[in-house]
């Protein structure tokens, strides 16, 4: 901190030793296509120009702030990528804000991260820069956060329990990109078909593709016909998708014209029957991968995923895996720098030997192949997005007619999983209308968290300590 002539304290913005967004454009071929979208193309030179324009607008707002946190609220596409890179180039820490968040969820996130600026891009209003007001004083973690030189903060359902803000520095982000690519082998000749939500999947995917000069392909929609059309038109070489995308693609009649060299399945387990069907249609067997925001992409079932279809494969070359009381522990480059709230540095998160507890129950066979058997936490994954049932239960339990609730995941042929709620009501003779309970959830939660069904039950099983028992 320094003082100006009037004695006011001023903050100096973080000076990055290495800015990963700037390095991307230094490495890239300006004429190469970075993004295929809406039937058009954006080259690396054009992406450079778009991101630099935002950086120029943003820099005067944040240049005197200590490690400014800049949120991005934008639909998926080329603008999202350009704005994310622009935030980084301006010296900001990129904080993705998922468009599907309800207004209360968005406001809680803005306050918890104590955002300095919110970048919004909508079709009606274009690009807007807003400076949020905060009722609470700046958090104590801002000063230690500045020492990390953060590039990225994402709040997640987490792999280990409560929702946490994962902090990654520019250097850590680069470490995990390099580590992940030892198995993926992304090069400038690759074109990656992208169908996952970017606010949930960016740090070890989109940034990795850009770092290696590849092209990112956005289909018109996530429907099978549009996915196949975009894949044929751009000659996509890789598809990176969730199980429910593959389940939809498994209904296609023909894979003619598709030339994927790699099909990655992530976010949840892919049914072996679905994988076999994809192989029959498209001539490639999907490789399951384990992506963890705290760690990166430590495991990939490649090559020969058909030999162990239910496995997430072996640890990629830079990583190690072990079991402790049946829980999977991982160690390798690119682990998170800190949890934001409550503040915890990497040294406090990993054990004394640098191992990260994933929260996954697993088994490792003699060949080193890992198969996930379950979770030590309760997170539910739907179409590549995760949440905790407890946050839905907390909303349901605010209704005066509800005594207790439990939210479970149910298999769905298209989405993989969907949430279902069980509720115990205080007066069985006067149950609340189910529509009323659904409206309560819709007002406070993202659409994908709202139960598709509400069941009235006499009781909800509890553990001996009084906690809700979950399957």
Domain boundaries along the sequence of the chain: 10-378, 388-456
Are 153 and 93 a contacting pair, CB within 8 Å?
yes
Q: Which residue has the tokens 């005066």?
A: 400
Per-residue pLDDT tens digits of the chain, which is 471 residues long: 333 333 333 344 444 479 999 999 999 999 999 999 988 999 999 999 999 999 999 999 999 998 999 999 999 999 999 999 999 999 999 999 999 888 998 999 999 999 999 999 988 889 999 999 998 898 999 999 999 999 999 986 443 345 679 999 999 999 999 999 999 999 999 999 999 999 989 988 999 999 999 999 999 999 999 999 999 999 999 999 988 899 899 999 999 999 999 999 988 778 888 899 999 999 999 999 999 999 999 999 999 999 999 899 999 999 999 999 889 999 999 999 999 988 999 999 999 999 999 988 889 999 999 998 776 667 788 877 878 888 898 899 889 899 889 999 888 776 678 899 999 998 888 999 999 999 999 999 999 999 999 999 999 987 654 568 887
Are 442 and 94 a contacting pair, CB within 8 Å?
no
Q: Indicate the class that CATH gives domain 388-456.
A: alpha beta
Report the distance separating Cα 128 and Cα 318, nearest Å. 41
Report the distance separating Cα 168 and Cα 154, nearest Å. 9
Q: Domain 10-378 is of which CATH architecture?
A: 3-Layer(aba) Sandwich (3.40)
Q: Which residues contact 189 (CB under 8 A, 6 or more apart)?
A: 214, 237
Helices (H), 103-148: 103-113, 142-148
Q: Element (H or E) spanning 433, and its range?
A: none
DSSP state of 463: -
The encoded tokens of residue 117 equal: 């600026």
Q: What's CA 337's distance to the chain center, in Å? A: 17
What is this structure's pTM? 0.82
DSSP state of 448: G
Are 244 and 269 a contacting pair, CB within 8 Å?
no
Report the distance separating Cα 99 and Cα 78, nearest Å. 15
The encoded tokens of residue 253 equal: 């009649």
């Amino acid at each position: 901190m320094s003082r100006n002539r009037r004695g006011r304290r001023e903050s100096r913005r973080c000076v990055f030793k290495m800015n990963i967004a700037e390095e991307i454009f230094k490495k890239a071929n300006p004429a190469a296509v970075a993004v295929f979208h809406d039937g058009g193309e954006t080259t690396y030179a054009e992406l450079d120009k778009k991101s630099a324009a935002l950086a120029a607008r943003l820099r005067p707002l944040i240049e005197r702030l200590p490690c400014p946190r800049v949120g991005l609220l934008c639909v998926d596409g080329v603008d999202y990528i350009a704005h994310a890179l622009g935030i980084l180039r301006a010296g900001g820490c990129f904080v993705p804000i998922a468009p599907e968040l309800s207004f209360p969820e968005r406001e809680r996130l803005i306050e918890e991260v104590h955002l300095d600026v919110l970048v919004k891009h909508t079709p009606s209003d274009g690009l807007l820069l807003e400076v949020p007001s905060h009722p609470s004083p700046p958090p104590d973690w801002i000063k230690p956060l500045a020492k990390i030189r953060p590039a990225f903060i994402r709040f997640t359902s987490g792999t280990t329990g409560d929702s946490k803000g994962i902090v990654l520095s520019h250097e850590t982000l680069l470490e995990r990109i390099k580590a992940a690519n030892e198995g993926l082998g992304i090069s400038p000749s690759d074109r990656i078909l992208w169908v996952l939500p970017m606010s949930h999947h960016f740090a070890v995917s989109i940034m990795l593709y850009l770092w290696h000069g590849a092209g990112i392909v956005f289909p018109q929609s996530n429907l099978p016909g549009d996915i196949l059309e975009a894949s044929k038109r751009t000659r996509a070489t890789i598809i990176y998708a969730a199980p429910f995308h593959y389940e939809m693609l498994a209904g296609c009649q023909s894979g003619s014209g598709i030339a994927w060299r790699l099909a990655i399945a992530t976010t949840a387990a892919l049914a072996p029957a679905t994988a076999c069907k994809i192989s029959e249609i498209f001539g490639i067997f999907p490789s399951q991968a384990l992506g963890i925001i705290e760690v990166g992409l430590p495991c990939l079932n490649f090559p020969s995923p058909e030999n162990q279809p239910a496995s997430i494969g072996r640890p990629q070359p830079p990583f190690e895996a072990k079991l402790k009381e049946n829980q999977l522990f991982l160690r390798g480059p690119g682990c998170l720098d800190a949890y934001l709230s409550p503040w915890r540095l990497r040294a406090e998160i990993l054990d004394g030997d640098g191992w990260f507890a994933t929260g996954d129950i697993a088994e490792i066979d003699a060949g080193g192949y890992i198969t996930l058997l379950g979770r030590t936490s309760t997170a539910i994954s739907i179409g590549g997005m995760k949440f905790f049932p407890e946050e839905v239960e907390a909303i349901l339990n605010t209704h005066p007619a509800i005594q207790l609730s439990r939210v479970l995941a149910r298999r769905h042929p298209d989405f993989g999983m969907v949430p279902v709620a069980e509720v115990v009501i205080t007066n069985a003779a006067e149950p609340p209308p189910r529509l009323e309970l659904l409206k309560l959830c819709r007002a406070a939660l993202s659409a994908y968290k709202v139960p598709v069904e509400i069941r009235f039950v006499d009781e909800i099983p509890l553990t001996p300590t009084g906690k809700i028992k979950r399957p």
